[in-house]
Structure 1
Amino acid sequence: MRTGVGCPEVKVTVIMDCDHIPYQQSQIVEAKGHSRNRQEYLYKDVRPFLSDANKVATCPCPET
């Protein structure tokens, strides 16, 4: 967990009813990506408001 915005991650142990719950690594969930309509919206309507450094990473040209 993080104790605040920009703070480093801290591991904690959760105890319920005095039983120790062992730490388990979280399952990685793959991102599905955006629909074609969402890609077009981001490219046409949001991209003009971004700095040049962030345009490609945030609102790339829609996939064909």
Structure 2
Amino acid sequence: MRTGVGCPRVKVTVDMDGVHIPYQRPQIVDAIRLIQNKQDYLYKSVRTYLSDTNKDATCPCPETQL
């Protein structure tokens, strides 16, 4: 963080009731299969706003889901 505009960056740690919480990257969580209603919503409402190259990866047709 910076303590002010133009100041150098300073590393900080967060303490909670005296317990040190070390910095670590968050764990990668595997995506779970979306429920049918959410798949339908993404396909019908969101897909139209995506570029052609991203449509199939982001909002595939719900019938093609495994």
Could you state the TM-score of these two structures normalised by the residue count of structure 1? 0.52
Q: Give the Cα–Cα distance (whole angstroms) in 2 for the partners of residues 56 and 34 of structure 1.
A: 15
**Kindly tell me: are residues 29 and 49 of structure 1, through their superposed partners in 2, closer, same or farther at Cα, counting changes over 3 Å?**
closer
**One-letter code aligned to 1:30:** D
Q: Give the Cα–Cα distance (whole angstroms) in 2 for the partners of residues 29 and 37 of structure 1.
A: 22
Greater RCO (CA < 8 Å, at least 6 residues apart): 1
Could you state the TM-score of these two structures normalised by the residue count of structure 2? 0.51
Question: Which residue of structure 1 aligns with residue 39 of structure 2?
Answer: 39
- Aligned to 1:32, what secondary structure does the other structure show? coil
Q: Give the Cα–Cα distance (whole angstroms) in 2 for the partners of residues 27 and 50 of structure 1.
A: 28
Shift of residue 28 of structure 1? 5.4
**Kindly tell me: are residues 60 and 27 of structure 1, through their superposed partners in 2, closer, same or farther at Cα, counting changes over 3 Å?**
same
Q: Which runs of 5+ in 2 are unaligned?
A: 1-25
Could you tell me the percent identity over the aligned residues? 59
**Kindly tell me: are residues 40 and 30 of structure 1, through their superposed partners in 2, closer, same or farther at Cα, counting changes over 3 Å?**
same
Shift of residue 27 of structure 1? 6.0
**One-letter code aligned to 1:43:** Y
Q: Name the larger-Rg structure.
A: 2
Deviating beyond 4 angstroms after TM superposition, the runs of 4 or more aligned structure 1 residues are: none
CA deviation vs aligned residue, 1:23-46 (integer Å, no higher than 9, x gap): xxx765432121000000000000
